[in-house]
Structure 1
Amino acid sequence: MQKTHTFIALLLLAASGSSLADTTNVAVNGQRVSLEANKTPVNTEKNPQAVSALPAGFRPAVPGSFTVAVAALNSPPLTVFSDDNKTLLGSEVDIARLVADSLGLKLNVVPTSWEDWPLGVASGKYDAAITNITVTKERKEKFDFATYRKDSLGFYVKTSSPIKSLSKAEDIAGLRIIVGSGTNQEAILLAWDKENQAKGLKPFTPVYSKDDAAQTLALQSGRADAYFGPNVIGAWKAALTGKTRLVGSVDGGWPKAAHIAVTLKKGSGLVDPVNIALNGVMKNGDYQKVLNRWGEGVEAIDHSEINPPGLGD
């Protein structure tokens, strides 16, 4: 695992021409982000109201801890491995810590693949998943959600690309676009592609890759025309390398807005205490500290909601 993380870092450095020191201090969305400074956790006080809202007889997956599934791959600023190649940092880890602290529990983060978090949460292996999960109509059938961030998606191309704008269905016709399988961004592209084909336009080609380094190389080598994913991840890469640029933004719940949420087993009774915990840290300022230090302040929300409308509603 350590060799893999180091190899990915070296690939990114080679593609960007940056030094290792350069990757630890970048300006994202107008906010300076320092990985070195962000090694120090942001903690918050126990929230008695959140604790009292825990269901009677609540037994966490790991006694005394709040066990949270987070992304297993380097996806800064959401999750990123520290220089020991073991410790996970990132805004998602910080949000998980704020919730755990509020509930009076220790934080136990578990790196998990995108494909595995649903079963892990449903089975009780994890108390929650915090891995950039958008509220959708389909997901609400199986999970409860407490929102904590706006879902903003971005189209990024390499700096030298002739593409000027990608913001609507016809713009993607005939393009090869990097996108995550099973994500809401994939659902949006597929819906757009259906519209295009009904109009006789060329289909787009999805380029599926979970590996950050592979995505970077595909875009820079010309094997893909664009990347479509969480805007905060795209903004981080653009700030770090200077070799990509934003050409369009789309709400994650297209055609409506949608939010990212802490995801919990439906009916577990955890959504109320987690919602209370999130609203508590939004009120005391610790939530804003977390988002600002990862360059995500532009996606802050003023209060957490339970199971709001999402993609497909």
Structure 2
Amino acid sequence: MSVFGSSKLLLAGVIAAAAIGLGPALGQEKYDLSPDTSNRVRAERNEAAIKAIAPDFKFVTPGKFTVAISPWDPPIGTYATDSKTVVGADPDLSSLLADSLGLELELVPIAWADWPLGVSSGKYDAVISNVTVTEERKEKFDFSTYRKDVLAFTVKADSPITSIKEPKDVAGLRVITGAGTNQEKIILEWDRENVAAGLKPIEVQYYDDRAAADLALQAGRAEAEFNPNSTRAYAASIKKDTKVVGIVSGGWPLTAEIAVTTRKGAGLADAITIAINDLIKNGKYGEVLKRWSISDEAVEASQTNPPGLPKSGS
């Protein structure tokens, strides 16, 4: 979902949400991002989740659930039209979890790269900002999964292309992606597989901003785009000039998941996992994903510290 901060992160398949190459301009488009959060989906107290909080766990501010979030792009998290209220799928989930834990939500906008130190030092109770589970991160943090890490292929709404599921489906196509991203890593690997199989090579295209990428696709200078499902599906639902024709795990060929991230051993992860599973069961979770057009990323159940993407060289 973003440019990796280092080659190590790239190999681990981790998508940083601070800057996604093509993504930031998306938030500048004319979406309905009202600062009025009164219509957020709300939840009841979950006594089982509350009881699962470790007795010695202390919230940053008593009575509040302090969540770090990076407002990078809709629909995951962005600033509303007032340029200060944070809205999106992750803020809505944060609100549901605060309700479930019987707490008031305190959202703290941060630069994405700042969350590890903030969580490990106890500055925030959790970060809910599109963090992928990796084995390396599990050494320092606990995870409660809540969304699949998904990338999408999009094409023009009137394109004859109806499905892209595997490398051969993009052989010979001109494909837009973000430089230095996990999706670039995947599409280049698909290209290598195609060429080795005697198929036509993929022409990978890069653009510095969203408007240029959109123009290239609409003008026919590219046949497809391969970037984060969340932003591409949301744009397709709003603008109606593109369509999603395929989704791929952000950890391809492995499955990757996004998770609420808390300090290792703090005693909060199991409570959050219980809360998420109840929200899945009662439909509140699904309402949030549907509202932000990312139902394709739904998980069937939340897990505490599941297997993550392997360390580099593993």
- Larger deviation, residues 54-63 vs 99-108: 54-63
CA 1:48 to 1:64, structure 2 compared with 1: closer, same or farther past 3 Å?
same
Written as runs of structure 1 = structure 2, the 5 A alignment for 1:118-157 is 118-157=116-155
Q: Does structure 1 residue 12 correspond to structure 2 residue 29?
A: yes
1:53-112 deviation per Cα after TM superposition (whole angstroms, max 9, x unaligned): 222332223343212122322322x22433323222222111111111222221111223
SS in 2 for 1:133: strand
Kindly provide the CA deviation profile for residues 160-200 of structure 1, in whole angstroms up to 9, marking residues without a partner as x. 889876544463789664337565x4553465467578889
Q: Is it true that 1:284 corresponds to 2:276 in the alignment?
A: no
Cα distance in 2 between the residues matched to 1:282 and 1:165:
29
Q: Which residue pairs with 2:72 in the alignment? A: 73
Query: In the alignment, does 2:210 pair up with 1:215?
Result: yes
Amino acid at match of 1:42: V
Alpha-carbon shift at residue 224 of structure 1 (Å): 7.8
Identify the residue that residue 45 of structure 1 maps to in structure 2: 44
How many pairs does the alignment contain?
Answer: 283
Q: Which moved more, 1:171-180 or 1:273-282?
A: 171-180
* Larger mean Cα displacement after TM superposition, 188-197 or 51-60: 188-197
| Shift in alpha-carbon separation, 1:181–1:125, aligned structure 2, 3 A | farther
Deviation at 1:276, TM superposition (A): 1.3
Structure 1 equivalent of residue 301 of structure 2: 303
Which residue matches 2:63? 64
The 1:133–1:177 alpha-carbon spacing in structure 2 relative to 1, beyond 3 Å, is farther
Supply the distance in 2 between the matched residues of 1:226 and 1:143 (Cα, whole angstroms). 37
TM-score using structure 2 length:
0.72
Equivalent residue number for residue 229 of structure 1: 227
Percent identity of equivalent pairs = 44
AA partner of residue 54 (structure 1) = I
Alpha carbons 1:156, 1:247 under 8 Å: kept? yes
User: Is the CA contact (8 Å cut-off) linking 1:49 and 1:276 kept in structure 2?
Assistant: yes
Measure the CA separation in 1 of the matches of 2:108 and 2:98. 14
Among 228, 233, 244, which residue is 1:246 paired with? 244
Q: Deviations over 1:137-174 (max 9, x none)?
A: 33333322111123332023455889876544463789
**CA–CA separation in structure 2 for the residues paired with 1:137 and 1:192:** 25
- Structure 2, unmatched stretches of 5+, are 1-23
Equivalent pair of 1:207/1:224 in contact (CA under 8 Å): no
Residues 33-58 of structure 1: CA deviation (Å, up to 9, x unaligned): x9699651222122222222222332
Q: TM-score, normalised by structure 1?
A: 0.72
Unaligned stretches of 5+ residues in structure 1: 1-6, 14-22, 25-33
Across the aligned residues of Structure 1 and Structure 2, the Cα RMSD in angstroms comes to: 3.7
Give the counterpart letter for 2:137 in structure 1.
R
> Could you say what secondary structure the match of 1:93 adopts?
helix
Alpha-carbon distance in structure 1 between the residues aligned to 2:112 and 2:206: 17
